[in-house]
Amino acid sequence: MATILTPQATGKLVGKRVRRREDPRLITGTATYVDDIQKPGMHHACIVRSPYAAARIKGINAQAALALPGVAAVFTGKDVAALGPVPCGASLPGLRVPHHHILAQDRVYFTGHPVAVVVATDRYIARDAADLVEVDYEELPAVAAPEKALAPGAPAVHPEWPDNTAFTYHQEGGDVNKAFAEAEVIVKQRIISQRLIPTAMETRGVVAEWQPGDKALTVYSSSQIPHLLRSLLAGMLGLPENRLRVVVPEVGGGFGSKLNVYAEEALMGFVAMKIGKPVKWIESRRENFLCTIHGRGHVDYYEIAAKKDGTILGLKLKLIQDLGAYHQLLTPAIPTLSVLMMPGLYRFKNILADIVGVFTNCVPTDAYRGAGRPEATHGIERMVDMLAAELKMDPAEIRLKNFPQPDEFPFATATGLSYDSGDYEAPLRRALELVDYPRLRQEQAEARQQGRLMGIGLSTYGEVSAFGPSPATPAGGWESATVKIDPAGKVTVLTGASPHGQGEETTFAQIAADELGVDLEDVIVLHGDTAVVQYGIGTFGSRATAVGGPAVYYAIQKLKEKIQKFGALLLESAEVTFTNGNCVCNRNGKSVTLAQVAAASYRAMKLPPGEEPGLQVTYFWEPPNFTFPFGAHIAVTEVDRETGRVSILRYVAVDDCGNIINPLLVDGQVHGGVAQGMGQALYEQAVYDNNGQLLSGELTDYAIPKAGMMPWLETGHTITPSPVNPLGVKGVGEAGTIGASPALVNSVVDALSPLGVRHIDMPMLPEKIWQLLQQGGQA
Amino acid sequence: MKRLISVTINGKQRTDEVEPRLLLIHYLRDVVGLTGSHIGCETSLCGACTVELDGKAVKSCTMFAVQVDGCRLLTIEGLVSNGKYHPLQEAFWNEHGLQCGFCTPGMIVACKQLLERTPVPTEEEIRHGIEGNLCRCTGYQHIVNAVKAASAKMGI
Ligand code: FES
Ligand code: FES
């Protein structure tokens, strides 16, 4: 059982299972999420949304709604025509960008498209009034699946682009034609990464408040990116950025879905300015499923080329990305991340990829936990398994054969990345050991003799994380930290990363406490309020610890120089060392405490030459590269012949995320990540019917894992420090999700391989497996 | 037409005039000001709104405030007694049974009920006992650990 340190512990904190400092407010119900915010005179907004996936708006009549007592206003598309658009931050050559108004103008493009907003004194009245808004629609033909949208004669999502193609993108590395010409075996497969719904337990929500005297707007939003939101929202609303304050209070999960800028955030700002009263909008779960971004949405055509001994020579991919009706913040960039990660952990240098980004009459896809990388990993890991099956090789052996060795790092990939550090065999060997692989295979052979369908599935995943060097990212890729020591010697860290459940109030305090030699209790970490925190980028892409952490570290290094200078002044010595929270004279051993130094620095009776008073440093850290975490997962499953149900007998995850600041939190990230990968592999899918109606529009129909659906997860770690940052950390937020889906699908395919099954698309619902079983394994 | 209700919430009695259609969760959050219980679905699927009603865990998003007239309610805010955390709160903290914390208040109330019914639950019983409460962050494993730890502590 874990040893838990209580926060007054001193000494080295980095690397310990320190329990979280954010928890007391969360376990007592005293934290403040957006919906907990109350303002005097606050109004409530309810949004009228399109029931059709494609329709022309012929008219809107809001008279009945406006007549309802308590209704303050109704706004429609024409009121906000000049605002916006909802921004797309990604740029690709030739990208077609539809103008994304914050309320529909004369046409709607997906079910749930916002058409009008009703504002009332109470949320019940707002909802009643929304039902009274009459919208006259003329329904138009819709298309809700990307391959159908590409077929000749398909309805055009945007009439100006009848081919429904937003962009095409080509990338090549090495000589793929030569690789395929020299191949002794080629395996091809169509693989689907279905549309998923991120389903943060807290839906989105916004409170906006206008101070007319100051001409200043405050927007409270459940977001992962307060500063980027402020910059973009200022543009959408035509406000100077210094008159806009974004506050991100407690956030109930994001998983990428709140790494965005949404129409409603601008709309509430507009409403608050118009009615001169604070306004609150809280997304319902149904709206969350209809209108917050979805993830994945790939149809991938893969071809892998290899030699008979299992050496992989090359990989081709045709990627069809379902974009939905619009580009949200990063929509078109997500599939390009899949291409970057195409080679996975393997040494081969020949790749070719073609992406077609397709408009459909669905809500946009965008970054959902892993964002492009789970799709890529699922692809390569399925293909490697299929190749092993074709060559009758063991799936572990084929992987071991194709890994670059530790001395080949930094390793240049076919897609132009430089993998920072790696020992890819280590986690695989550790995972194989944990399951006792040879014995497990023997058990499987015995099970098969008894007619049981038992499978063993491996995945060895890699990911590009810690986004990232600025030239390689749509916004800046750095992160910032301010570290200040108050006159009494207590420490405040302001981080530009905006954690929302990851626990950086604890891990950054661990870093700061160790570096400054103070107690954990003496450090607080603040984030999320643009009026308090210097500009920052945010939390996504496993970047908070790996980019935000080093910013804290470097700020403290600079601060320490200043502390030493003030210490030298107080000790009247030229040689002073700052250690364990004290400045010590190297010659006579006399010392002053950090608190004494801090007090002197603010009192400023004397200043070190060239120094300003006070102890405060802000540091913007630009990473020189991404980091590349990796690992190996093994899933042992059994399929019930009668029902097609998959049981997970064992699940082992060995991850390498570099150095670990807090193992307790890393385990938490792995568990949660694996749960979401399992959700994709076994249960979850966003289903649209042919008319673009979302059939999986509620939690009844969209199955995120419940406690009883999860197996016990066995975790292990190997540690290969990253040379990219001084902490040696790589990031772990997405690892579990990326590793899990291929391990599970490989396992179930292995279970059914005696029937001749070689591939199954996700989610592996009992009905799908049952049908396979009925057809003797032939799809 | 508002109706008068009288309830005991976390040991304190109060009377309020409420609309008959006001949901219990909105009453607790917006009228009483106890915002610890959350809303994740409003359709009794997620459990974020779980509170105790006369000793039984209920989802307060699918009840009306008028239905609890004369009843006793316990919410997450009422679990701290004499400045001390309930063993489940302590265990969720120690075992890292929460990340974003949004599901946590409802989850803890559900776990309290589970331990009242089954003081020493097996892993399977714990997983079954919290089926009505969704958590998207933790994968539930640390929640299982927390319930076991609290059970051990409460057994002493
Ligand atoms: S809000 Fe009550 S169960 Fe989800
Ligand atoms: S901790 Fe985030 S939903 Fe449970």
Contact A712, A652 (CB under 8 A): no
- Provide the pairing of β-strand A107-108 with A279-282: unpaired
Task: Please report, as a single letter, which amino acid is at residue A624.
Answer: P
Contact criterion met (CB < 8 Å) for B101 and A667: no
- Could you tell me if residue A17 is inside a domain? no
Kindly state the tokens that stand for A117: 């907003």
Rounded Cα–Cα distance for residues A515 and A527 (Å): 20
- Could you tell me if residue A82 is inside a domain? yes
The confidence band for A779, taking pLDDT boundaries of 50, 70 and 90, is: low
Contact criterion met (CB < 8 Å) for A27 and B92: yes
Nearest residue to A249 via CA among A270, A271, A224, A232: A224
Question: Which of A571, A590, A621 represents a domain boundary (last residue)?
Answer: A621
Ligand 2 near B96 CB (within 6 A): no
pLDDT, tens digit (0-9, with 9 covering 90-100), for A632-653:
999 999 999 999 999 999 999 9
Q: Which of B24, B45, B76 has the most ligand 1 atoms within 8 A of CB, as the residue to mutate?
A: B45
Q: What is the 3-state secondary structure (H, E, C) of A10-57?
A: CCCCCCCCECCCCHHHHHCCCCCEHHHCCCCCCEEEEEEECCCCCEEE
- What CATH number does the domain containing A65 carry? 3.90.1170.50
According to the model, what pLDDT value does residue A2 have?
A: 34
Distance A43 CA to ligand 2 centre (A): 29
Ligand 1: which residues within 6 Å by Cβ?
Answer: B 39-42, 44-49, 59, 61
List CB contacts of A625: < 8 A, sequence separation 6 or more: A418, A420, A468, A469, A724
Contact criterion met (CB < 8 Å) for B35 and A503: no
Q: Which of B29, B44, B133 has the most ligand 1 atoms within 8 A of CB, as the residue to mutate?
A: B44
Distance B37 CA to ligand 1 centre (A): 10
Output the average pLDDT for chain A.
96
- Could you tell me if residue A149 is inside a domain? no
Distance B47 CA to ligand 2 centre (A): 11
- What CATH number does the domain containing B40 carry? 3.10.20.30
Q: Which chain B residues have a beta carbon less than 8 Å from that of A123?
A: 26
List CB contacts of A202: < 8 A, sequence separation 6 or more: A33, A34, A35, A222, A251, A252, A253, B38, B40, B100, B102
How many alpha carbons fall within 13 Å on the CB side of residue A269? Answer: 32
B66 and B95 co-located in one domain:
no
Q: What is the 3-state secondary structure (H, E, C) of chain B?
A: CCEEEEEEECCEEEEEEECCCCEHHHHHHHHCCCCCCCCCCCCCCCCCCEEEECCEEEEHHHCEHHHHCCCEEECHHHCCECCECCHHHHHHHHCCCCCCCCCHHHHHHHHHHHHHHCCCCCHHHHHHHCCCCCCCCCCCHHHHHHHHHHHHHHHC
According to the model, what pLDDT value does residue A109 have?
A: 98
Rounded Cα–Cα distance for residues A747 and A738 (Å): 15
- Tokens 């005991």: give the residue: B8
Kindly state the tokens that stand for B145: 């650990």
Task: Please report, as a single letter, which amino acid is at residue A159.
Answer: P
B12 and B74 co-located in one domain:
yes
- What CATH number does the domain containing B136 carry? 1.10.150.120
Q: Give the position, in ligand 1's atom list, of the atom nearest the Cα of B61.
A: 2
Cα-trace Rg, chain B: 15
Kindly state the tokens that stand for A265: 């955030």
- Provide the pairing of β-strand A491-495 with A523-526: parallel
B57 and B117 co-located in one domain:
no
Rounded Cα–Cα distance for residues A164 and A144 (Å): 11
According to the model, what pLDDT value does residue A392 have?
A: 97
pLDDT, tens digit (0-9, with 9 covering 90-100), for A481-501:
999 999 999 999 999 998 888
Q: Which chain B residues have a beta carbon less than 8 Å from that of A38?
A: 30
A392-412 average pLDDT score? 97
Helix (H) or strand (E) holding A677: helix A663-678
Disruptive mutation site among A20, A27, A647, A710 for chain B (greatest number of B CBs within 10 Å): A27
Helix (H) or strand (E) holding A713: strand A713-717
Q: Which chain B residues have a beta carbon less than 8 Å from that of A647?
A: none
Question: Which of A588, A621, A654 represents a domain boundary (last residue)?
Answer: A621
Helix (H) or strand (E) holding A563: helix A549-571
A633 and A577 co-located in one domain:
no
Distance B140 CA to ligand 2 centre (A): 9
Residue A141, preceding peptide bond in cis (omega within 30° of 0): no
Contact A756, A777 (CB under 8 A): yes
pLDDT, tens digit (0-9, with 9 covering 90-100), for B128-149:
999 999 999 999 999 999 999 9
**Percent of chain A residues past pLDDT 90, beyond the cut:** 94
- Tokens 């369908």: give the residue: A453
Rounded Cα–Cα distance for residues A622 and A472 (Å): 12
Q: Which of B137, B141, B143 has the most ligand 2 atoms within 8 A of CB, as the residue to mutate?
A: B137
The shortest C-alpha distance from A370 to chain B (Å) reads 14
- Could you tell me if residue A166 is inside a domain? no
CA distances from A317 to A301, A305, A308 (A): 6, 12, 21
B144 and B103 co-located in one domain:
yes
- Could you tell me if residue A163 is inside a domain? no
A605 and A733 co-located in one domain:
no
B71 and B7 co-located in one domain:
yes
A716-731 average pLDDT score? 95
A307 and A414 co-located in one domain:
yes
Q: Tell which B residues from 51 to 110 touch A, by Cβ distance under 8 Å.
A: 75-77, 79-80, 85, 89, 92-96, 98-105, 108
A341 and A392 co-located in one domain:
yes
Distance A303 CA to ligand 2 centre (A): 39
- Could you tell me if residue A512 is inside a domain? yes
pLDDT, tens digit (0-9, with 9 covering 90-100), for A336-390:
999 999 999 999 999 999 999 999 999 999 999 999 999 999 999 999 999 999 9
According to the model, what pLDDT value does residue A475 have?
A: 85
Kindly state the tokens that stand for B68: 């609890």
Residue A199 has its nearest CB partner, among B34, B39, B136, at B136
Residue B131 has its nearest CB partner, among A201, A671, A706, at A706
The confidence band for B155, taking pLDDT boundaries of 50, 70 and 90, is: confident
Contact criterion met (CB < 8 Å) for A28 and B48: no
Ligand closest to Cα of B107 equals 2
Rounded Cα–Cα distance for residues A42 and A503 (Å): 32
B110 and B62 co-located in one domain:
no
- What CATH number does the domain containing A525 carry? 3.30.365.10
- Could you tell me if residue A281 is inside a domain? yes
B74 and B131 co-located in one domain:
no
Question: Which of B19, B45, B78 represents a domain boundary (last residue)?
Answer: B78
The shortest C-alpha distance from A255 to chain B (Å) reads 9
B137 and B104 co-located in one domain:
yes
Q: What is the 3-state secondary structure (H, E, C) of A584-597?
A: EECCCCCEEEHHHH
A61 and A127 co-located in one domain:
yes
Beta strands in A611-682, from DSSP E residues, in sequence order: 616-621, 630-639, 646-656
**Is A8 a residue whose pLDDT tops 60?**
no
Q: Give the position, in ligand 1's atom list, of the atom nearest the Cα of A699.
A: 4
Q: Which ranges of A342-424 would DSSP assign to H, the alpha helix?
A: 373-391, 395-402
- Could you tell me if residue A573 is inside a domain? yes
**Residue A523 is part of which domain span?**
478-621
Q: Give the position, in ligand 1's atom list, of the atom nearest the Cα of B44.
A: 3
- Tokens 């981080």: give the residue: A495
Q: What total number of domains does chain B contain?
A: 2
A634 and A562 co-located in one domain:
no
**Is A427 a residue whose pLDDT tops 60?**
yes
**Is A4 a residue whose pLDDT tops 90?**
no
Distance B106 CA to ligand 2 centre (A): 10
Other beta carbons less than 10 A from residue A485's beta carbon: 27
Rounded Cα–Cα distance for residues A412 and A363 (Å): 37
For residue A10, with 0-12 CB atoms within 10 Å meaning exposed, 13-18 middle and 19 or more buried, which class applies? Answer: middle
Nearest residue to A268 via CA among A45, A597, A601, A29: A45
A315 and A377 co-located in one domain:
yes
A51 and A67 co-located in one domain:
yes
Disruptive mutation site among A1, A25, A26 for chain B (greatest number of B CBs within 10 Å): A26
Disruptive mutation site among A125, A201, A289 for chain B (greatest number of B CBs within 10 Å): A201
B67 and B37 co-located in one domain:
yes
Q: What's the pTM?
A: 0.96
Ligand closest to Cα of A254 equals 2
A428 and A398 co-located in one domain:
yes
The confidence band for A549, taking pLDDT boundaries of 50, 70 and 90, is: very high
pLDDT, tens digit (0-9, with 9 covering 90-100), for A730-764:
999 899 999 999 999 999 999 999 999 999 999 99
Q: What total number of domains does chain A contain?
A: 3
Q: Is B140 on the interface with A (CB under 8 A)?
A: yes
A438 and A520 co-located in one domain:
no
B9 and B65 co-located in one domain:
yes
**Residue B63 is part of which domain span?**
3-78
According to the model, what pLDDT value does residue B1 have?
A: 87
Ligand 2 near B138 CB (within 6 A): yes
Q: Is A697 on the interface with B (CB under 8 A)?
A: no
Ligand closest to Cα of B97 equals 2
Rounded Cα–Cα distance for residues A751 and A705 (Å): 22
Cα angle for residues A118, A121, A126 (degrees, 5° grid): 35
Secondary structure of residue A672 in the 3-state scheme: helix
How many residue pairs bridge chain A and chain B with CB atoms within 8 Å of each other? 177
- In chain B, which residue's Cα lies nearest the Cα of A39? B30
Nearest residue to B36 via CA among A28, A140, A406, A488: A28
The confidence band for A701, taking pLDDT boundaries of 50, 70 and 90, is: very high
Rounded Cα–Cα distance for residues A556 and A566 (Å): 15
